[in-house]
């Protein structure tokens, strides 16, 4: 029986370093960062035969953001000011409600990751059922697939941090699939990051 993998895109931050709603920044033609992320993950989930991705929203709930995510399951995070951990908790709670076997956590601003990268991550998880993650900048990180038994720990993290500590613990216990994914290091945090991406992506 195929495992029930729930995919959640984290897009609730204030984008303070971007000085505006970076999720609306155009990264491919007229396609916004958030629209590109949703389109990619829609392809991933359709190819993998799993439920379409949900999106965690928070700081920017304007009409354009709501329109982009209208066909996705929207998870509103009223606690977005508490940092990334609050979005991870909302994603985990959703996965629990969906009785998920695993949760694929994705950051909407990791603009260089493509469909094949995500599919490879899912494939590795399905091979042995272990927590699985990307490896870049000499470290483990998201995108990552967490198991149902990880959810309680994900629900316990606090502050403006994600789930890296959980991945590191799995690594110590030799219970982690690590997938080299150098393209995961490219994210859009500032207008300068966006300019570099637009200059180099072709």
Cα–Cα distance measured from residue 67 to residue 166, given in angstroms and rounded to the nearest whole number: 34
CA 83, chain centre distance (Å): 15
Structure-model confidence comparison of residues 21 and 143, the more confident one? 143
Q: For residue 178, what pLDDT is reported? A: 97
Task: Record the tokens describing residue 109, joined without a space.
Answer: 């601003």
How many CB atoms within 10 Å of residue 176? Answer: 19
- Give CA–CA dist 133/120, Å, rounded: 10
For 17-47, the pLDDT digits (tens) are 787 788 998 988 889 999 999 999 999 999 9
Kindly report the pTM of this predicted structure.
0.94
Contact between 10 and 105 under an 8 Å Cβ cutoff? The reply is yes
Residue-wise pLDDT tens digits, 41-84:
999 999 999 999 999 999 888 899 999 999 999 999 999 999 88
Q: Which residue in this structure is represented by tokens 């409600």?
A: 97
């Amino acid at each position: 029986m195929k495992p029930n993998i729930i995919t959640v895109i984290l897009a609730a931050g204030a984008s303070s370093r971007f000085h505006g709603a970076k999720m609306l920044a155009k990264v491919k033609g007229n396609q916004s960062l958030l629209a590109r992320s949703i389109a990619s993950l829609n392809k991933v989930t359709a190819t993998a035969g799993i439920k379409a991705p949900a999106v965690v929203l928070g700081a920017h709930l304007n009409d354009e953001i709501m329109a982009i995510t209208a066909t996705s399951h929207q998870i509103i995070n009223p606690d977005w000011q508490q940092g990334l951990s609050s979005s991870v908790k909302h994603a985990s709670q959703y996965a629990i409600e969906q009785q998920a076997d695993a949760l694929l956590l994705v950051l909407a601003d990791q603009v260089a990751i493509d469909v094949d990268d995500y599919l490879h991550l899912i494939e590795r998880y399905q091979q042995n059922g272990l927590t699985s993650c990307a490896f870049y900048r000499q470290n483990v990180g998201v995108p990552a697939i967490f198991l149902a038994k990880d959810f309680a720990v994900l629900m316990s993290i606090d502050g403006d941090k994600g789930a890296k500590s959980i991945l590191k613990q799995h690594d110590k216990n030799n219970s982690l699939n690590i997938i080299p994914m150098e393209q995961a290091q490219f994210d859009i945090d500032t207008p300068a990051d966006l300019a570099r991406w637009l200059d180099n992506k072709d």
